[in-house]
Amino acid sequence: MRGVVWRQLLRFAILNVPPWIEPIVMAFWSAFFLLWGPGRRGVMRNLKVIKPGSSAIANFFRCYRVFWNYAWTIADNVRFKELRTIPDWEFIGRDHFQAMQASSGAILLTAHMGSYDLGAHLFSETSTRRIVMVRAPEEDVETREFEEQHGAEGLRIEFNTRATELALDLLDTVREGAIVAIQGDRVVGTISTLPATLFGRPTTVPAGPFALAMAARVPIFPVFVVRIGRRHYRLVTARPIEITRSSNRDDDFARAVAQWMTELEGVVRECWYQWFTFEPYWPEAAA
C-alpha cells in the first residue's frame, strides 16, 4: 500500500483516536484492507506455502490476522515517532543480544516482521553502539518527504539505492564499531542476490549483508521483533552467523545463507501472522 495519504491518515489516527476505541478502529480497517486484492492474494499465496494443505477459506481469515497485526505494528511505530510511547519489551536470546552490543561492529539481520523500525529505535535509545538502518527507499517522492519529516531522532537511515557508495560507507561504519541493521528476507529492487531455500522452495536473499560481514569480518546477528499483544513486543536474538573465509567464497556464503534461512523459517513458521510480505514471495507462488 503506497502513497502519502495512508501515512497522513495513520498519523491523524494516532493523534486523535482514544485508546479505548482503538481496537474497534483497528478491527474495522484491517477488514477494510481485505479489499486490497493484490495484498490479500499475496499473503494468501505465501500462507499456502508456509502451511501446506491449508484451505483458501482458512488462509483468508489468516490473512485478516496478518493485516490486523500489521495495522497494530505500523500504529505502534507512528505512536513512538509522534508521542514517544514505547511498548512493553521482552527479550529472548539476551546473551546473543549482549554479545552484539559488545562486539566491535556487527550486522543485525532481520525480516519484515513485527516492527523493524520500533526495534531499531529501541536499540538506538538503549545501546551505546551507533546503529545504522539500511532500507529500500520509498518510490513516491511525497511519501519519502513525509517519512523524512516524521522520522524519529537519533537514528541514521541509509537507502539501498546507491549500491557501490553505500557498500563502502557501510563497511567503514561497521569497522568503526557500529551496528548495521538490514532486512534480509526479501529482495527489493535491483540488488545483488544469493540463492536460498525457504520452506523447501528456492528463493533469493540480498547478498549485501553477507558480503559486508565477510569484508568487515564481523558476525551477523539474526534479530526478530515479534508483536505478541497490544503494545507488547518480543525481541528474539538468535546465535550469530560467522562467515568463515575459505578458498571457495560461494560455499562460505551458502553456509551463512543456510543458517539465516533456518532461523528465518523457524520464526516465520511460528509467527506466520507477522510476516509482512504482501507480494508472492516465491516465483511459483506468484503463478
Partner 1 sequence: MNVVIDRPEAYWLPSRHRFALSRLIAYAKLRAARAITNDVEHLILPIDRDQAAVEMNGAAIWVFVTTVCYIAAALPLIWPAAILAAIPIAAIVLQFPIVGIGPIVRMVMGDGDHIKIISVITMSLLVIASSYFAVSTSWARYVAWFFFAVLIVNGAAAIVLWLLRGGIRAAEERCVR
Binding site for partner 1 (CB under 8 A): 12-13, 15-25, 27-28, 82-94, 229-232, 234
Calculate the CA 21 to chain-centre distance: 28
Nearer to partner 1, 125 or 169 (CB): 125
Nearer to partner 1, 206 or 240 (CB): 240
Instruction: Report CA torsion sign: 259, 261, 266, 271.
Output: positive
Nearer to partner 1, 90 or 145 (CB): 90
Measuring CA to CA, how many Å separate 53 from each of 45, 47, 50, 277? 12, 10, 9, 20
Determine the residue type at 207.
A
Determine the residue type at 161.
T
Nearer to partner 1, 9 or 188 (CB): 9
Give the Cα-Cα-Cα angle 87, 91, 97 (nearest 5 degrees): 120
Least distance to partner 1 from the beta carbon of 45, Å? Answer: 28
Least distance to partner 1 from the beta carbon of 236, Å? Answer: 10
Secondary structure of residue 153 in the 3-state scheme: coil
Determine the residue type at 39.
G
Least distance to partner 1 from the beta carbon of 157, Å? Answer: 23
Q: 226 near 92, Cβ under 8 Å?
A: no
Nearer to partner 1, 15 or 168 (CB): 15
Least distance to partner 1 from the beta carbon of 229, Å? Answer: 5
Least distance to partner 1 from the beta carbon of 163, Å? Answer: 36
DSSP letters of 9-36? HHHHHHHHS-TTTHHHHHHHHHHHGGG-
